Structure 1
């Protein structure tokens, strides 16, 4: 079985998380509320994909990206999502690929997939360690 690697970016600000309403025309998870992300392209590293996908989807450049965890997400394909937490960025966030983006309380975020729910729980579990300098 082929596994498709993806990066997911969890933008966090003031106890809130940025989520997208996926476009209804997307092949995977159409219309769902989710943590933004995208597929790695052939030969691309996770870090390269992360920077490219953030620019393509939100038109910002992250100042930091902390790896959180990797989780499988079975959809029409089996995806391995590599989650990164971003707390600082340059530019104003725009929704370039999703129908909309909005901020939600991190402890009550209406994400639709089990993988995204687990990733947000993981932030709560390890957050004292994520933000240490």
Structure 2
């Protein structure tokens, strides 16, 4: 089975996370509440995908981010999602591709997929470590 690599971004503000409600027309996880992200293009690095997808989906540019983890997500295709924590960015968030984007408590985030739940749990588990508390 072919693996499709993706990059997802966990935008954090205080104790909240930005999640998208996917449009019902999406092939993967239609209508689901999810951590935003997108597919890597041929020859693109994870960081290049992160910058491109943040601009395409939310109209922002990250100023600090750190890699969190990579998880498989079986949907209409097998995805390997590389999750990044984005704590600072330039621009005003605007939902350009999703039905909507909203801030939710990290502890009670209503994400629809197991991979997103695990990623948010991993963020909570590691957030007390220096790497997540420094200016990255």
Question: How do 1:51-130 residues align onto structure 2 when only pairs under 5 Å count?
Answer: 51-129=51-129, 130=132
Deviation per residue, 1:67-103 (Å, 9 max, x gap)? 0000000001000000000010101000000000000
Q: CA RMSD in A?
A: 0.7
User: Partner residue of 1:41?
Assistant: 41
Name the CA distance, whole Å, in 1 between partners of 2:32 and 2:44.
27
What TM-score comes out, normalization by structure 1 length?
Answer: 0.98
TM-score by length of 2: 0.96
The alpha-carbon deviation at position 65 of structure 1 amounts to 1.2
Aligned equivalents of 2:66 and 2:85: distance in 1?
Answer: 5
1:3 is aligned to 3
Q: CA shift at 1:132, angstroms?
A: 2.9
Could you tell me which runs of 5 or more consecutive residues in structure 2 were left unpaired when the two chains were aligned: none
Between the aligned partners of 2:71 and 2:101, the Cα distance in structure 1 is 22
Q: In structure 2, what is the equivalent of residue 132 of structure 1?
A: 134
Aligned length: 133
Shift of the alpha carbon at 1:50? 0.5
Distance 1:131 1:12 in 2: 12
